[in-house]
């Protein structure tokens, strides 16, 4: 699997494993399936793994760390996130978490982008992962905390990078506008944009991606299926889009995309993965997996050949515009190996 090297040396495979499902996103995942997801991703060549304290109140980090424990540390890249401290909450331990994960509410999330909060968060992540360092740290969803995240938050991450504690720093969000501000104003190495550089939502193309390319900042594309609508060969009538029931007009547009894909011998999910990598700023696509089968499917979809004629027809029909600077075969800024 191809690897992209960022300016300061962090390496990301073009496919990364997103570990939200390892934290019981929406429903329970067994320890066996979680281990299988990581093992199958590794066997497929994946060497980039992304997690966060938010995912299952730390469960994702614990499971990912356990699954990687026997792997040579120098051979893989781990990213985690800061901005939400996990505070013990014994009074709610008998309840289920209300943050979207099927875990007991033994902790509560507390927003904190202060220097102390970030250092405490990273220390907790290292303990749960069982690692002495992570490679990449993102500010996690600072939508409502711009001032603190863009000052003490990013300054603390840059300090940690300059001290050699981490290799790369940035922010991860479900929007492109604020990420563009981080790229414009801060010394970040990469950003993770979720659901805004996809076949159905190209809003990151307006400002974020051109700016990132200009500044030499890598972009990690996550949620490229828009939480489900682009995950099947034919979009079902009950598909979800950004974690809500998909509007009828979007289901129809996804169906039109699937029609074109079929004419070129490509599935809709294969095109959904290939599309982000066409932009020269994109360094990796991160996909979640709940078990070994899903990890293998992700890798098979990445490996599928998507002909240039598909993109030309999508553009001619006005379904997906051509990506500025897109080559005939996907490549990105930075060194490849």
DSSP string, 202-239: -GGGTTHHHHHHHHT-EEEEE-TTGGGTTSSSS--TT-
At which residue do the structure tokens 């901005």 appear?
83
Look up 138 and say whether it is catalytic: no
270/278 Cα distance (integer angstroms): 13
In the set 48, 55, 241, 275, the catalytic residue is 55
11/73 Cα distance (integer angstroms): 13
Q: Which residues pair with 288 in a beta bridge?
A: 18
Closest CA to 118 of 141, 89, 152: 152
266/152 Cα distance (integer angstroms): 46
DSSP 8-state code for residue 311: H
DSSP 8-state code for residue 104: B
278/301 Cα distance (integer angstroms): 15
At which residue do the structure tokens 């709610």 appear?
92
User: What is the per-residue burial (b if ≥16 Cβ within 10 Å, else e) of 9-48?
Assistant: ebbbbbbbbbbbbbbbbeeebeeebbbbbbebbbebebbb
Catalytic (active-site) positions: 55
């Amino acid at each position: 699997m191809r690897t992209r090297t960022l300016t300061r040396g962090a390496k990301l495979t073009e496919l990364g494993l997103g570990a939200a499902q390892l934290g019981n996103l929406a429903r329970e995942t067994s320890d066996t399936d979680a281990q299988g997801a990581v093992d199958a991703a590794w066997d497929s060549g994946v060497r980039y793994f992304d997690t966060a304290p938010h995912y299952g109140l730390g469960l994702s980090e614990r499971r990912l760390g356990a699954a990687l424990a026997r792997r040579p540390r120098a051979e893989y890249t781990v990213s985690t996130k800061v901005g939400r401290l996990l505070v013990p909450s014994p009074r709610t331990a008998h309840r289920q978490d209300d943050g979207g994960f099927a875990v007991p509410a033994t902790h509560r999330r507390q927003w904190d982008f202060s220097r102390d909060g970030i250092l405490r968060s990273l220390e907790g992540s290292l303990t749960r992962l069982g690692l002495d360092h992570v490679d990449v740290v993102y500010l996690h969803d600072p939508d409502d905390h711009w001032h603190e995240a863009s000052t003490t938050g990013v300054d603390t991450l840059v300090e940690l990078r300059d001290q050699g504690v981490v290799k790369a720093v940035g922010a991860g969000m479900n929007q492109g506008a604020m990420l563009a501000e981080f790229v414009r104003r801060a010394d970040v190495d990469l950003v993770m944009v979720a659901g805004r550089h996809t076949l159905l939502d190209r809003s990151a193309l307006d400002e974020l991606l051109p700016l990132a390319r200009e500044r030499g900042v890598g972009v990690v594309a996550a949620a490229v299926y828009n939480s489900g609508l682009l995950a099947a060969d034919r979009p079902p009538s009950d598909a979800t889009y950004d974690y809500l029931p998909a509007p009828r007009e979007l289901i129809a547009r996804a169906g039109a995309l699937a029609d074109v894909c079929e004419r070129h011998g490509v599935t809709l999910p294969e095109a959904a993965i290939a599309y982000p990598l066409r932009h020269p700023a994109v360094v990796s696509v991160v996909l979640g997996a709940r078990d070994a089968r899903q990890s293998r499917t992700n890798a098979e979809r990445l490996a599928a050949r998507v002909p240039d004629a598909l993109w030309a027809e999508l553009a001619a029909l006005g379904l997906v515009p051509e990506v500025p600077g897109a080559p005939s075969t996907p490549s990105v800024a930075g060194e490849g190996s």
